[in-house]
Homo-oligomer: A and B are copies of this chain.
Amino acid sequence: MAVNLAPPDPGALLPVAGVELGVAMAGIRKPNRKDLLVMRVAPGTAAAGVFTQNRFCAAPVTIARKHLRHPVRALVVNTGNANAGTGGEGIERAMQVCEALAAHLGCEARQILPFSTGVIMEPLPAERIIAALPRALFHQDDWLSAAEAIMTTDTVPKAFSRRVRLSGGSATVSGIAKGAGMIRPDLATMLGFVATDARVPQAALRRLVQRVAARTFNCVTVDGDTSTNDAFVLLATGQGPAASARRDLLRLEVALTDISRQLAQAIVRDAEGATKFVTIEVGAGRTIEECRRVAYAMAHSPLVKTAFFASDPNLGRLLAAIGNAGVAALDASKVDVYLDALRVVRGGARDPHYREEQALAAMRKPEFAVRAVLNRGAARAAVWTCDLSFDYVKINAEYRT
């Protein structure tokens, strides 16, 4: 079902010096599936993360946010159980996992970042995770396996790699992500991990993670439901060339943004029930904030999303969503709308040259853009989203029951 998204070519995924990956089948929710990932990182690795803004954030999010103040030695990620809405006991169980892994690695529990994804409000089976840790410490350096180990309702593992030339030599960037539903990151996606061997000062990495998230994971939405477990973590192991000069940092930022954008878009391409990948751009607004509001109003409207599913150029639904975005003093009679390069709305009414066949042809493609031009300023924003199909309802009406 994924839209224009092939499984990663294992040969194209590059190991990152200073990152060791291992996966295991811990039987957390179902037997015989990879559901546990341990990422060990070299001493001196800089780490920075952004996390869900949901007030019901999960126990591991609370812990990871706190542990990020200390030098990180490993990340431990389980699927099958989100350890969210689990109160104080959830914190205890996540800490038990951190302590067990720290004992294996000879470090402190506060140097471990825990992440969980899966069903909400079930007790975390910490004992099963702890029992499986030794197997996950078997070092494989296999980013594809790592991507597979963090999948839940994903149908395609999501992993991308590239190199970037810095003045001191070539650095590698590899990343994985997961997520297919409950996706409307409010700082990050459900789970995204991007590592580089470049040497990045901690403070610079903290700025980078915000800037990268804002332009990648924070631009996707499937259903407007911000998860309890969203986390996006950048790791820089420092085993490769330095990225501390301004020019190198900029180059690295471009590479990190590139990999993160591919991961974020892969989440939408593999969204629950998605048959269309739609870029929604809003331009000529007064502020980026209002452009984002208008883009999300379209991306979250069930009527717009079902029209995408039907390849129905239902311009009225697009206009109604724009009009609903809550933008003060928006002059509807100035708004233009395009489907790819085709202008379909001019000055708030149907374009005089509108021909439905052309609009239909644009929307029948598995991938297209909707562009609204507000004609009241110079700001712009874009959001990536998908359609609302029978399968979205089917998957979410059947999952967990």
Residue numbers of A with Cβ under 8 A of B are 54-57, 82, 84-87, 89-90, 119-121, 181-182, 186, 223-228, 300-303, 306-307, 309-310, 312, 314-317, 319-324, 327, 330-333, 345, 347-350, 388-390, 392-394, 396-398, 400-401
Tell which of B306, B321, B331 touches A397, judged by Cβ atoms closer than 8 Å.
Answer: B306
Is the pair A320, B120 in contact by a Cβ cutoff of 8 Å? Answer: yes
Residues of B within 8 Å of A87, CB to CB, are 333, 347-349
Distance between A122 CB and nearest chain B CB, rounded to angstroms: 8
Tell which of B320, B330, B349, B397 touches A227, judged by Cβ atoms closer than 8 Å.
Answer: B320
Q: How far is the CA of A186 from the CA of B300 in the complex (A)?
A: 17
Is the pair B54, A303 in contact by a Cβ cutoff of 8 Å? Answer: no
Distance between A124 CB and nearest chain B CB, rounded to angstroms: 12
Residues of B within 8 Å of A333, CB to CB, are 87
Is the pair B316, A120 in contact by a Cβ cutoff of 8 Å? Answer: yes
Residues of B within 8 Å of A182, CB to CB, are 303, 317, 320
**Given A120-B316, A394-B390, are A301 and B224 also a contact pair (CB < 8 Å)?**
yes
Is the pair A303, B181 in contact by a Cβ cutoff of 8 Å? Answer: yes
What are 7 of the A-B contact pairs (CB < 8 Å)?
A84-B319, A87-B349, A225-B317, A226-B323, A302-B392, A306-B396, A310-B398
Is the pair A327, B55 in contact by a Cβ cutoff of 8 Å? Answer: yes
Tell which of B82, B86, B228, B315 touches A85, judged by Cβ atoms closer than 8 Å.
Answer: B315
Residues of B within 8 Å of A347, CB to CB, are 87
Residues of B within 8 Å of A224, CB to CB, are 300-302
A335's nearest neighbour on chain B, judged by CB, is: B56
A118's nearest neighbour on chain B, judged by CB, is: B316
Residues of B within 8 Å of A392, CB to CB, are 302, 306, 393
A313's nearest neighbour on chain B, judged by CB, is: B401
Is the pair B121, A323 in contact by a Cβ cutoff of 8 Å? Answer: no
Residues of B within 8 Å of A331, CB to CB, are 55
A310's nearest neighbour on chain B, judged by CB, is: B397
Q: How far is the CA of A309 from the CA of B263 in the complex (A)?
A: 31
Is the pair B317, A120 in contact by a Cβ cutoff of 8 Å? Answer: yes
Residues of B within 8 Å of A57, CB to CB, are 323, 332
Q: How far is the CA of A322 from the CA of B89 in the complex (A)?
A: 21
Interchain residue pairs A-B with the least CB separation, the first 9: A120-B316, A56-B323, A87-B349, A306-B396, A310-B397, A55-B323, A54-B323, A223-B302, A56-B332
Tell which of B55, B56, B84, B349 touches A121, judged by Cβ atoms closer than 8 Å.
Answer: B349
Q: Which of A181, A224, A392 counts the most chain B CB atoms within 10 A?
A: A224
Residues of B within 8 Å of A227, CB to CB, are 320
